[in-house]
Amino acid sequence: MTDVATAPAKLNIAAVVSEFLQEQGRRLSAKRLSKYRQVLDLFCIYLDGYWPGESQEAYDRVTKMGGTFCTWFGPERIPGGYPEFLGYYMSHKVMGGMETKRAAGTVMKLFAEWLAGKGYIREPEQAVERSKRASKQLPSTEDACRILEACAAKPPRDRVSNEIEDHFSVVRVEPGKIWLTPLSGGPGTVLGPIPVPARASAILGVNWDVSGVVGKTSRGWRLMEVWNVSAI
């Protein structure tokens, strides 16, 4: 958390984003520029909604003066938003298709490199590396989610005696099966093995998050509903 200045930065995040898009517009097709704009619009929405690194008190003070995160702070605050935006936010809050999620990592990587080239930020390596991982992980999580959704949509052959609705952490993966720990159940609670298509187990990784419903039948635990998958 930082001390909130009594006035907005002379060069704020919104202005830097606009400058970046203007420069990219000179070399990109209209279709590709639209994708860049879409990703950065989402990033600004995230920053203005989540205020990474700032307190409720800071939010209250700035918004009372008519400011937002992007109109108040300078570009040095941009890298601090990368981890949550490319991890949690893009996976859990953005309903766009795979194309948008695939583009997010690439666009944010180029944005970080451009910021460093302009001298707006120092040491962009962490932001660039996070962007590279997102380029691979976000499409993979979308694939895994679609496979698990289809698997969960098939009604179980046995009566369900217990259901748990939660976020689940993947604690073990083997071909065709996974083991999950519910967020509310603590690290000692492990549900599994849960049968899943081999295509899904080939994608899923330990510590990935699966949100939905898991049910217990006479044959063991089964996926009942799957809403989202993220590599957090």
Backbone angles phi, psi at 65, to 5 degrees: -90, 5
What is the per-residue pLDDT across 96-131, written as a single tens digit (0 to 9) for each? 566 777 788 889 989 999 999 999 988 888 877 877
CA nearest neighbour of 230 among 130, 93, 97: 93
Domains of the chain: 13-148 (no CATH), 154-230 (2.40.50)
| pLDDT for res 98 | 65
**pTM for this model (two decimals):** 0.71
Q: Is pLDDT at 153 greater than 60 in this prediction?
A: yes
pLDDT value of residue 101:
76
Percent of the chain with pLDDT over 70: 94
* Per-residue model confidence (pLDDT) at position 96: 58
| Helix (H/G/I), strand (E/B), else coil: 208 | coil
pLDDT tens column, 68-92: 999 999 999 999 999 889 888 887 7
Q: What is the pLDDT, as a whole number, of residue 185? A: 77
Strands of the sheet with 220-230, listed across from one edge:
191-195, 177-182, 162-174, 209-217, 220-230
Q: What confidence score (pLDDT) does residue 219 get?
A: 87
- Res 49 pLDDT > 90: yes
If one counts every other C-beta atom within 10 angstroms of the C-beta of residue 204, the result is 20
Q: How confident is the model at residue 173 (pLDDT cuts 50, 70, 90)?
A: very high
Question: What share of the chain in percent tops pLDDT 90?
Answer: 59
Coil, helix or strand at residue 227:
strand
